[in-house]
Structure 1
Amino acid sequence: MASTSSDGPAVDGDTRRSWRHWTPLLLLRASHPRLGLISALGLAGAAALSGRPTREVGMVLATVLAGQAILGWQNDLVDRHRDAADGRDDKPIGQGLLAPGDATFAMACAALAVVPLAVSHGVWAGLSYLGSLVIGLIGNVFLRNGWLSWLTWAASYGLYPAFLAYGGWAGEGRTRPPEFSVPVLAALLGVCVHVLVSLPGLVRDHEHGVRHLPLRLGLRIGAARLLWATILVTALVLAGLLATGAQVGLRQ
Structure 2
Amino acid sequence: MRFRKRRGPAVSLALASHPLPTIAMTGGLTAAAALSGRPLRECALVAVTVLAGQLTVGWMNDLVDRGRDRQVGRQDKPVAMGWIDPGTVAFAIAVATLAVIPLSVANGTEAGIAHLGAVASAWLYNLWFQKSWLSWLPYAVSFGLLPAFLSYGGWGGGSHGSPPTIQMTVLAALLGIGIHVLNVLPDLVEDRETGVRHLPLRIALRTGAPRLLYAASAYTLLVAAGIVWTALTVGLRQ
1:176 and 1:198 map into 2 onto residues whose CA distance is 34
Q: Which has the higher contact order (CA 8 A, sep 6+)?
A: 2
2:156 and 2:162 map into 1 onto residues whose CA distance is 17
- Amino acid corresponding to residue 195 of structure 1 in structure 2: V
Residues 1:133 and 2:130 are matched in the alignment: no
Deviations 1:210-238 (A, max 9, x none): 21111011112111111111111111111
Runs of 4+, deviation exceeding 6 Å: none
2:185 and 2:30 map into 1 onto residues whose CA distance is 26
Structure 1 equivalent of residue 25 of structure 2 = 39
- Amino acid corresponding to residue 42 of structure 2 in structure 1: E
Rg larger in structure: 1
CA contact (8 A) 2:66 2:79 kept: yes
Aligned length: 234
**Paired residues for 1:159-170 under 5 Å:** 159-170=145-156
CA contact (8 A) 2:8 2:83 kept: no
**Paired residues for 1:1-252 under 5 Å:** 20-171=6-157, 173-252=159-238
Q: TM-score, normalised by structure 1?
A: 0.90
Specify the SS of the correspondent of 1:88: coil
Give the alignment's Cα RMSD to 1 decimal.
1.2
1:109 and 1:173 map into 2 onto residues whose CA distance is 27
Q: Please report how far the alpha carbon of residue 30 of structure 1 lies from its aligned counterpart in structure 2 after TM superposition.
A: 0.3
- Amino acid corresponding to residue 194 of structure 1 in structure 2: H
Structure 2 equivalent of residue 4 of structure 1 = none
Q: Please report how far the alpha carbon of residue 173 of structure 1 lies from its aligned counterpart in structure 2 after TM superposition.
A: 4.2
Q: Please report how far the alpha carbon of residue 21 of structure 1 lies from its aligned counterpart in structure 2 after TM superposition.
A: 2.4
CA contact (8 A) 1:121 1:173 kept: no
Structure 1 stretches lacking a partner, 5+ long: 1-16
1:172 and 1:123 map into 2 onto residues whose CA distance is 5
Structure 2 equivalent of residue 8 of structure 1 = none
Structure 2 stretches lacking a partner, 5+ long: none
Counting aligned pairs with the same residue, the percent is: 52
CA contact (8 A) 1:73 1:107 kept: yes
Q: TM-score, normalised by structure 2?
A: 0.95
